[in-house]
Structure 1
Amino acid sequence: MKTTLSLKHLAMPFLSLCLIMSSCTRHLEDITPDSKELNNAGSAADVGILATATIDANTVQQTIQGFGGMSVPIWIGDLTADQRTKAFSTSSGIGMSILRVMVPPNSSQFAAEKATIDAAKSYGAKVIATAWNAPSSMMDRLYLRASAWADYAAHLRAYTQAVGGVYALSPWNEPNYLASEWMHASATEIANFVAAQGDNCGAPIMSPEPFNMDQTFINTYLSNATAKSKTLFVSGHIYGKTPYNLGNIGKSVWMTEHYTNSSISGNDWPNAMNAAKEIHDCMTAGWAAYVWWYIRRFYGPIDESSNITKVGYVIAHFARYVRPGYTKIACSANPSTGVYTTAYKSGSKIVVVAINTNAAITYQPFTISGVTVNSFNRYVTTSSSNLAASSFSISNNAFGINLPASSITTLVSN
């Protein structure tokens, strides 16, 4: 009898504990987003209990100039008509809004650039041009002779006139990369050239593009007030450098060349995600543009078979929907572990790009201030999907969405 009573007394607390645990578990299920519903927007009530990405449309940061890539027909052949469409179209392609080209050292090679330049401009893209070397007659080994400055400016001007419509021109490419086989120069030498000849080059000058986005090089160049006044924007390359804020230098900053890995396919998803995070980092550093290296290459945005790669689709998440003239607005850059977000606006339109580097689905809440948003179109790319489209409505400028594992998502307000 005592044994029976003891079991009953033991059983009652155990049953009560089970009921309490069951109740708590059910409550958590009620407030935690269902990870199986990837396309289901969370309710505003869910937002307060999870880490929130805060978007403030009233806090305007840099003006975005665009996203693009490079074409060098004298090295690897020109883009085909189909590849140009896939690079620059915002409806059937990546939507690149910047084309970078090379100024050849030989004027007989100028015409090779024109077809792709004209195609890019027909899609509204800006064309920027970079010189690797001056004509050999103007150089002493890998240095431009000071006595040839006027001739070199005339060479650059002849190029811009031959191809037409160059938005900006860089007279040197990575002049501080002394292991290269192209023109070397100090920041002071280049600033002196631009001060003397910048108005004679046929297009506005973009600061010579230092390797490592070297700030000492950039600051030295800009310390020449005349050269600075003739410089449209600062540009550089981030090989070996994590994007960083250059401070108040009085010019917008463009990242005009980089690639993440030239030894693996552009369809390698982890590498494409690295590119996504890199673009995010450039934007959060306050930069206005991101330009990939070769547009067509097996490791680039378009492969040798003319297919858009995963790298290309990642770039499209920015290039298609964040157009030149949009402004970056305040947004929590890393609101949750493994999640990275940026936001942009044009008038009352808001664009949000969210990158989930986690290996699991991650629910991310958002709040928006400064503009009223009622719904979003959503585009998602994962290892198995490309710009998969859906839409959802929100209320009270607050919402939450499930970000698929290892994915990039772009939201465009309606």
Structure 2
Amino acid sequence: MTPAPQEPPTDRPAAPSRRTVLAALGALPVLAAAAAPLPATAATTATATATATVLIDPAARRQSIRGFGGMNHPLWAGDLTAAQRETAFGNGPGQLGFTVLRIHVDEDRANWSREVATAKRAAELGAIVFATPWNPPAALVETFVRGSQADARRLRHDQYGAYAQHLEDFRVFMADNGVGLYAVSVQNEPDYAQDWTWWTSDEIVRFLRENAGAIGTRVIAPESFQYVKGLSDPVLNDPAALANLDVLGAHLYGTPYADFPYPLFQQKGQGKELWMTEVYYPNSSDSADLWPQALGVGEHIHHALVDGGFQAYVWWYIRRSYGPMREDGQLSKRGAVMAHFAKFVRPGHVRLDALANPQPGVWTSAYQGGSAVTVVAVNQGSAAVSQQFAVAGTAPSGVSAWVTDAARTLTAQAGPALSGGTFTATLPAQSVTTFVVTSGGAEPMPPTAPGTPVVEAVTAASATLSWAPSTDDTGVARYDVVRVDAAGETVVASTTTTRVTVTGLAAGTGYAFAVYAFDPPGNRSPRSTAVTATTAAAPAGGCGVDYRVTNSWDGGFQGEIVLRNTGPAALTGWTLSFAFTAGQVVSQLWGGTATQSGGAVSVAPADYTRTIPSGGSVTLGFLATRGATNPAPAAFALNGAACG
């Protein structure tokens, strides 16, 4: 999407523009495609009789839920404040409980540092972070004629490798700044890209087949504007492309509920995740506090999870007049409806079979985490209704309830009485209610032990580890990496993935690491087998340089320089010098500013690379011309002193 509101046009002559589609969505009835509200009658004070019991079967398990969240885009919408980060990703009173953050991969590396503060705090609060690009760097793009658009943009076909390296560089940059990206997308809305970069399905398939493997985290594609299956079908039908796809992402702007199911994904997407990565609903024109219009968000989420089988539901801007957080940083009614899911249906919970539409205007879904079952019930009718629920095969000990309607927002209620595994509740008119059904005793089964860690890479100050995942009947919530020594165990990293870089290590030192897994109720697995790793020795001069060519073509190449501070103190302000000996000329550099005289190159830092902490590093990337040969520089100097 583009600056607020994100409603750019498209050039499709045979189809309405993106702006037209989104504007039309705003003009639809608020509960379009939903059952009409129950009409008021002379007996509006009476409670309607439930027509069917919602039977919840814990043995009939469907998709595992990854989480709920939204987009933070500091460049277009301003960064969240420190307090707003707590509201978005905390799970206390008045907080949204989000567990997924989407951020932007800017084509200009000078803007990357804008993403760090909110992403880092979200990760600290337990959220996963994924990133989406709108455009590649300008040097990698060409224009072409597409329909009536004479200046349409696409990634040059000879620059796919350079683009993959651009995405990998962003991943490394975020990791160096304390944020491990769960996934990186190939492109935002490649099929409605009037204002950004177009991709065809064939181009997406080719990139996944040939280049996505160079990205050091999970890969998302295609993030179609309206979940157009014609864009993702070719990926699912190409085994080599599918092997490099980890998350099938989709946007649901104007997508009819009937098009939410995806049989081909169910057939061929085993082992892949299915995420809804962007939407606002029902429009961007109404206040997010308008009721009962905001209740439509609840039905939309219901259909996304129940009919579509999505594992994540991600809103557009987190803070917006039409978003889950108002501009004043407080929850909106739309946000409260999202929170009825996000606060109670946590990562690793599993959706259970349950009757989805037990009576007109009522939508119900159920989820299990540990020994608790969560039920979310949306009543769009203008009258209160009585609804019976039954949890099969259990003897629950209590029910808690929270409700949002015109007068209340996430208000705790006395839970209904239980009879065996059955309870009957009154669903207020035009409301959403979350019930949490608990059973006595803790969930007894901890996760299995993680696989023995594998040391993927070491530097003088860090070690990158990966391991085979644990299994658990309720899902794995996180992994803790511990350093093991004579004094015992020390947690040195936590992650929701199976890969992490442990930083802050001493050069030339041996370490032992092991991993624990935790499920949503907090049960800890047995410890994995420990692995040992020895960091590299500190080079002379207190610094180290790693140089590599990441891509090359006739007359040019792309390179990367990793500058490591192995000294005891932080470096603030620096100059890196080296020399090319075969006529190479730097044409573009990110992470700093390059000046060149003959073969001698001098690099000064950018604002975001100016300070390198002890044991830390910065990554510089560049494009350059070359002749017939392309030897690496023989030596580097930092502030005039030799650097190993």
TM-score by length of 1: 0.87
Provide the secondary structure at the position in 1 that maps to 2:249: strand
1:408 aligned residue (419, 432, 437):
432
CA distance in structure 1 between the partners assigned to 2:105 and 2:51 by the alignment? 52
Which of 288, 296, 299 is matched with 1:277 structurally?
299
Per the alignment, residue 320 of structure 2 pairs with: 297
Letter in 1 for 2:348: G
Task: Please list, as runs of the form range in 1=range in 2, the aligned pairs for 1:80-119 lying within 5 A after superposition.
Answer: 80-92=81-93, 93-119=95-121
Deviation at 1:36, TM superposition (A): 7.4
> Any idea what the Cα deviations from partners look like across 1:22-72, whole Å, max 9, x if unmatched?
xxxxxxxxxxxx99799xxxxxxx99x842111111100111111110011
Output the CA distance in 1 between the equivalents of 2:141 and 2:65: 37
Q: 2 CA distance for matches of 1:231 and 1:169?
A: 10
Partner of 2:141: 139
Off by >6 Å, runs of 4+ in structure 1: 34-38
Q: In the alignment, what sits opposite 1:379?
A: 402
Match of 2:55 in 1: 54
The 8 Å contact of residues 63 and 327 in structure 1, kept in 2 or not, is answered as yes
Which residue does the alignment assign to 2:636?
Answer: none
Measured after TM superposition, the shift of residue 320 of structure 1 is 0.4
In the aligned structure 1, how far is the partner of 2:75 from the partner of 2:252? 24
1:201 is aligned to 2:228: no
Matched, 1:169 2:184: yes
Instruction: Quote how far apart the aligned CAs of 1:224 are.
Output: 2.0
* Structure 1: distance between partners of 2:44 and 2:353: 28
Does 1:183 pair with 2:197?
yes
Q: Aligned with 2:222: secondary structure?
A: coil
Q: Which has the higher contact order (CA 8 A, sep 6+)?
A: 1
Q: State the alpha-carbon separation in 1 of the partners of residues 365 and 355 from structure 2.
A: 7
Q: Deviation per CA, 1:141-160, whole angstroms, max 9, x where unpaired?
A: 21000111111111111111
Aligned residues: 372
Which residue in the other structure is 1:160 paired with? Answer: 171
Match of 1:148 among 150, 159, 173: 159
Deviation at 1:371, TM superposition (A): 2.8
- Out of 224, 246, 261, the residue aligned to residue 210 of structure 1 is 224
- Residue of 237, 240, 254 corresponding to 1:223: 237
Q: Which runs of 5+ in 1 are unaligned?
A: 1-33, 39-45
The Cα of 1:347 is off from its aligned counterpart by: 2.5
Note closer, same or farther for the CA distance 1:130–1:114 as it changes in structure 2 (3 Å cut). Answer: same
The separation in 2 between residues aligned to 1:267 and 1:390, in whole angstroms, is 22
Give 1:117 deviation, angstroms: 0.5
**CA distance in 1: counterparts of 2:172 and 2:293, whole angstroms:** 39
Equivalent pair of 1:156/1:202 in contact (CA under 8 Å): no
Instruction: Name the aligned partner's letter for residue 306 of structure 2.
Output: T
Residue of structure 2 equivalent to 1:29:
none
- Tell me the secondary structure at the aligned position of residue 358 of structure 1: coil
Which structure shows the bigger proportion of residues in helix conformation?
A: 1
- Give the CA deviation at 1:356: 0.3
**Cα distance in 2 for residues equivalent to 1:270 and 1:104:** 37
* C-alpha distance in structure 2 between counterparts of 1:37 and 1:64, whole Å: 37
Higher mean Cα deviation, 152-161 or 99-108? Answer: 152-161
The correspondence for 2:262, drawn from 235, 246, 255, is 246
State how far apart, in whole Å, the 1-side matches of 2:362 and 2:400 are.
20
For residue 372 of structure 1, report the CA deviation from its aligned partner. 2.6
* Structure 2: 5+ residue stretches without partners: 1-42, 144-152, 439-644
Q: Is the 8 A contact 1:37 1:402 kept in 2?
A: no
Q: Which amino acid aligns with 1:246?
A: Y
Moved more, 265-274 or 102-111: 265-274
Task: Give 2:279's aligned residue.
Answer: 258
* Structure 2 Cα separation of the partners of residues 89 and 353 of structure 1: 20
Change in Cα spacing, 1:185 to 1:50, as seen in structure 2 (3 Å) is: closer
Distance 1:96 1:258 in 2: 15
Offset at residue 139 of structure 1 (A): 0.2
Supply the distance in 2 between the matched residues of 1:177 and 1:297 (Cα, whole angstroms): 23
**Partner amino acid for 1:280?**
H
Asked whether the 8 Å contact 2:218–2:247 carries over to 1, the reply is: no
Map of 1:229-240 to 2, 5 A cutoff? 229-240=243-254
Q: Within 2, Cα distance between the matches of 1:198 and 1:252? A: 16
Paired residue type of 2:54: A
Percent of aligned positions with the same letter in both sequences?
A: 37
- Map Cα deviations across residues 352-398 of structure 1 (whole Å, 9 max, x no partner): 00000000111111111033322111000011111110233412111
Moved more, 220-229 or 305-314: 220-229
1:140 alignment partner AA: E
CA separation of 1:36/1:377 partners in 2, compared to 1, >3 Å: closer, same or farther? farther
Whether the 8 Å CA contact 1:313–1:386 is kept in 2: the answer is yes
What is the Cα-based RMSD across aligned positions, in Å? 1.8
Equivalent-residue separation in structure 1 for 2:64 and 2:163 (angstroms)? 32
CA contact (8 A) 2:51 2:358 kept: no
Q: 2:340 aligns with which of 311, 317, 326?
A: 317
- 8 Å Cα contact 1:35-1:402 kept in structure 2: no
What is the CA–CA distance in structure 1 between the aligned matches of 2:60 and 2:45, rounded to whole Å?
35
What residue identity is the alignment partner of 2:322? Answer: Y
* C-alpha contact (below 8 Å) 1:379/1:388 kept by paired residues: yes
State the secondary structure of the residue aligned to 2:419.
coil
Q: Hey, what's the Cα distance between the residues in 1 that align with 2:44 and 2:375?
A: 21
Tell me the amino acid that sits aligned with residue 150 of structure 1. G
Q: Given the alignment of the two structures, is residue 124 of structure 1 paired with residue 148 of structure 2, yes or no?
A: no
Q: For residues 232 and 277 of structure 1, do their structure 2 counterparts lie closer, same or farther at Cα, with a shift above 3 Å needed?
A: same
Distance 2:214 2:113 in 1: 21
- What is the TM-score when the length of structure 2 is the normalising length? 0.56
Matched residues in 2 for 1:158 and 1:77: separation?
A: 24
Indicate conservation of the 8 Å contact 1:126/1:166, yes or no.
Answer: yes
The aligned amino acid for 1:194 is L
Q: In structure 1, what is the equivalent of residue 546 of structure 2?
A: none
Greater mean alpha carbon deviation, residues 246-255 or residues 336-345 = 246-255
Indicate the larger mover: 273-282 or 197-206: 197-206
Contact 1:364 1:403 in 2 (8 A): yes
Instruction: State whether residues 50 and 365 of structure 1, in contact with CA within 8 Å, keep that contact through their aligned partners in structure 2.
Output: no
Q: Would you say the 8 A contact 2:66–2:312 is kept in 1?
A: yes
Kindly tell me: are residues 125 and 35 of structure 1, through their superposed partners in 2, closer, same or farther at Cα, counting changes over 3 Å? farther
Which residue of 2 is the match for residue 24 of structure 1? none
